[in-house]
Every structure is written in C-alpha cells, then in structure tokens.
Amino acid sequence: MRTFSIEFFPPKTPEGVTKLRDVHMQLARLNPRFFSVTFGAGGSTRDRTLETVMEIQAAGSAAAPHLSCVGSTRENLRDILATYKSHGIRHIVALRGDLPSGMAETGEFRYANELVEFIRAETGDWFEIEVAAYPEVHPQAKGYRDDLVNFKRKVDAGANAAITQYFFNPDAYFNFMDECAALGISIPIVPGIMPISNYSQLARFSSMCGAEIPRWLAKRLESYLDDTASIRAFGLDFIASLCERLLAGGAPGLHFYSMNQSALTSALWQRLDLK
C-alpha cells in the first residue's frame, strides 16, 4: 500500500501558528497518512514541535514528530519519548540533526543509528520509526559507499521506513534503490518531494542540503526572473511529471515538503489523484 504524507515546520510566531492551523485544515482534506513536524537544530524547537504535533493530533490527523540526537542527552531524549508516548504518538522521524550555530559538541549521540537503537531500547516497538535517506549522498558523507553503509546501519538498528531528501533527478532515486537492494535493505524508501515556487529560495536550500538542481532546470527557472506565476506553473508541471515517474517506477509513496503552504501540495495531490 502506498503512503502519502506531508511535512510542516513548527511556527515561530502567533501569526505563524494561525496560518499553519489553516494550512493543516486545508491539507487534512487530502487525507495523508501522517503529517511530520520538524525539530530544530540541537532541539531548539522542542516545545514548539510538541505543541504543533499535539494540535495536529487533536484536530484528528496522525502526526509524526522529528527527533534529532545532535546536542541531546539520553536523559532529555528519554523525557521527550515519554511525553510523546503518553500522548499516544506512535510515529517518529529519527534524524542525526544539525548542530546549532556556535555549538561544537554533538552531545551523547553522534549518528542517527545510535538514536534509533536508543528509541528501540527505551520503547520497544511502540514507535514506527522513519529515518532519512540521501539518493544524492549526504552533504557531509565521506563518499557514496560510506553513505550507503551509514544508511544500512540505521535500518539494522530498527528503522521501519525511510524518507529521502528531495531530488529532481529520478534516476538518482532508482539507482539508490538498486544499491540498497544489493545490500539487502528492503524497508520502504519514500521519495521526498519539494514543490517549486521560488527559485532563489530553492537554490539556497539545495546548496545547504546537497540536493542537485540539474543545470537545464536551473537555467529554465532562472529564465523566468521574477515571474512567480510562470515559475509556479512550470514547477507544478515538472514536479507532477517527476512524481508520476517515481510512482510508475515502484516508489512506495511520496512525502511532500509543504513549507507550511497548502496551494502547491494540494495542486500536486489532486493532479496525481493520490488516494
């Protein structure tokens, strides 16, 4: 069964909270399997992540909080897990995470596989655990093979499924799937999908996270200059085509990075007739 899900980030302001409430209400009509909620560097959004997850769940949707281990201790992670468990949360996205600016120490955990092992040791099978996958290689990995081995460690530690970093070249995903199969990895690996609405913002995000924008695509988007309507229209066509190819090639679902906006995710969902 294919799974379709949507990601939010915790809002920083009262206006952001109100807006996300409206966005969630609109996207909940699509009936995604779950909404994930990101967790800031070093746990900087811990309380806001929890509040957002609680509100989503109270509104009747399944929620999956992100949890990162960098900058965390066993004690505070144990507290977070206990809080989520007490609120009936059964789904977590377990990540290594980023160090906050100015922080030099990673904390008691260095890698996501250690976090997955800890969650399993503390809570058994209570949580369904998603981890991250990088078809185009994690930006801090030593190399392609090392990145694959690191991914396998997370799977072996007890991950149930994975969500990829977004990408624009479907062959990167299919090649990654072949490499995973060769290593005996059989968990569902769901492609992460980034709608295109603003090229300068997309270029900035992509350079930070290691997602490659093919040269032809970059040039096409640059050619629209500040014509936002044309960028969004072309982006919708391109991303819909990418999703169609991924699903036709056997992808077990799609995970949409909504950026706390509803319009493009809704348009893609409806165009693809996702159910």
Active site members: 7
Q: How confident is the model at residue 100, as a pLDDT?
A: 55
How many domains is the chain built from?
A: 1
Whether 275 shows a pLDDT value over 90: the answer reads: no
Contacts with 128 (C-beta within 8 Å, 6 or more apart), sequence order: 64, 90, 91, 92, 160, 161
Domain hosting residue 142, numbered range: 3-272
**Can you give the CATH number for the domain in which 38 is found?**
3.20.20.220
Q: What's the whole-number average pLDDT of the chain?
A: 92
pTM to 2 decimal places: 0.94
Whether 83 shows a pLDDT value over 60: the answer reads: yes
pLDDT in tens, 226-268: 899 999 999 999 999 999 999 999 999 999 999 999 999 999 9
Contacts with 40 (C-beta within 8 Å, 6 or more apart), sequence order: 10, 46, 48, 49, 100
pLDDT in tens, 87-128: 999 999 999 876 555 444 556 788 899 999 999 999 999 999
